[in-house]
Structure 1
Amino acid sequence: MNYKKQNMKVLFQLKDDDKKRQTFSNILIIFILAMTVFMIAGIINTDEEFSLESIFTMVVLPLLMIGLYIPLTKKTFVSTLGIHKRGGLIKWESIKNVNYHKPNEKGMVIVKVLYSIMSKDASADITINKDDELLEVFKETVKEYRNTKKKEKKSGK
C-alpha cells in the first residue's frame, strides 16, 4: 500500500523466478490449514473443553505460519520503483550491478542483482528462461530505469 502512494506501476511479472519456493510455500499453507481443520474437528468430536493452549495451537499458530509464508508465494515482478522479490523491494537507485550468467543445463539464465541496503551490500538471484522474451525486456528495463534513476539522483531531483 505504501508503494501505491508513490504511483507505482507494475511493468511485468517473472513467471520462472522462485517457482519451487512458491510451490512449496503454497503446499505448506494448504497443509497448515488442513491440520488446523483436523485439530478443530478432533476437539469438537471428543467433547473436550477448549483450553488456552489448544486455542493458541489451533488458531494463532497457523495464522502466524500462514502470515510468514504468504510473501513467499508472491511472484517476482518489476515495477517503476524497482524489482519486487518475495515481498521486498530492490529500488532502482540501490542497484549497483546486474550480472547475466550463461544459461544452465535447464536453459535458465540466472541474473545476479547486487544492491545496497542499509549501507550493506546484498545480492538477489533472479531466474529467467533463456528463450523467454522477458529476458530481453528485463535487460532493457534494467538499463533504462537504472540510468534514469542515477541521472535524477545526480541532478538533485
Structure 2
Amino acid sequence: MGTFFANKKDYLNKKWHVVDAQGQIVGRLATRISRILMGKGKTEFTPHVDCGDGVIVINSADAVVTGNKEKTKIYKSFSGYPSGQRERTFERVMQEDPTHVIKHAVKGMLPKSRLGKRMITRLLVYPGKEHPHAAQLAGGMGQALPREKKTVKKEALVGQK
C-alpha cells in the first residue's frame, strides 16, 4: 500500500472548532490548538500541506498558568529602534489584551515558515464568551472540543508559592 500525499484542493473546506479556555492551563491549551491548526489529528496529515482546521477560542481572559508564572513570566518585544525593547509581565498582558497570551503560545508551537503564518490566521481568539462566527459553525461545519480534564481554579493558584 502506498503513502498518502494530500493535495491542496482536498482541504479547501475546513472545519471550525470552538475551544473554551475558562480555567484551562495556557500551555496545554496551546498544544491542543496547534495540533488542530496543523491537522496532526487527521489520518491524512501531510507536513508540507495546510490540512488543518480553524479554531475559535472563547473566554481567553479566564485562562490560567501554573506556579508563580503569573508574576514572573515576561513577554519581550522589540520595536527595532534604540531603547525599543519592552518587557511586560503575564499579569499586565492579561489586563491589556488577554487574547495575546494564547496567540503567542500557539504561534510558538507552529512551523516557522509561510505555512505557519497561514495556519495562525485561522486562530480566532476572544476574551469573552461571545464571538461573531456563527456562520462558520452552522451546517455541521464546526464542533466544540471537549474540555481537558486538567483544569486549575484561580483560587487554588493564589496561595501557591
Question: Could you state the TM-score of these two structures normalised by the residue count of structure 2?
Answer: 0.22
Greater Rg, structure 1 or structure 2? 1
- Greater RCO (Cα-Cα under 8 Å, separation 6 or more): 2
Q: Which has the higher helix share?
A: 1
